[in-house]
Amino acid sequence: MTQVKPMRADARRNYERLLKAAVEAFAEHGEGASLDDIAKRAGVGSGTLYRHFPTRQALLEAAYLDRIEALARRADEIAGELPPGEALVEWLNELGLGMIQVRGLRSLLGSAVTDDDSTVATACGACLKVAAERMVRAAQAEGTLREDVEPIEVLRLTHGVATASELADREGRDIRRYLSLVVEGLRRAR
């Protein structure tokens, strides 16, 4: 087994500065923010950025991993407060709103819910898929969600609804309405 060497103190500082600069740049310019600008903001060269983050996707994931893990944890919190069907809807609303409010997050989550086998499963995608699996299966067991609905489909639909809602008003004011329309179509017929 190969052991991972801990980062030197200067490398760790560069890593942290790069993450901070990336979060700021993605917030201002979305996922298309200039990587060279991010390196400059962090006070490092482009080579240092690419040593830590070989791709834009790797940088996006590192910049938003804490936020995505928090969204995934919210699924459990909400599930402890509401019945499964209601909990799923509330969690999807928070997830969709998060995709609108945090520029770059929607792009990252879009690639996390793809079927493309060449895409390596990311930590971001994995934690959301696990949370969605729990929420969807609980709502199905409760009888409020159709049994043929897959968790990945729910994540993809939420991604699409967030995109549509942002196109409508840039702030996602209608996301609850749009998601409620989608969820009604996913409900089990009574």
**pLDDT confidence of residue 67:** 86
Predicted model pTM: 0.78
Convert the pLDDT of each residue in 16-30 to its tens digit: 999 999 988 988 888
Q: Domain map of the chain by residue range?
A: 1-54, 57-186
Region 35-58: what's the mean pLDDT? 93
CATH class of the structural domain 1-54: mainly alpha
Would the pLDDT of 166 be above 90? Answer: no
Would the pLDDT of 112 be above 70? Answer: no
Sequence-ordered list of residues with C-beta below 8 angstroms from that of 67, at least 6 positions apart, any chain: 98, 102, 105
**pLDDT confidence of residue 122:** 66
Domain 57-186 indexed as CATH 1.10.357.10: yes
Give the Cα separation of 94 and 97 in Å (integer). Answer: 5
Give the Cα separation of 13 and 11 in Å (integer). Answer: 5
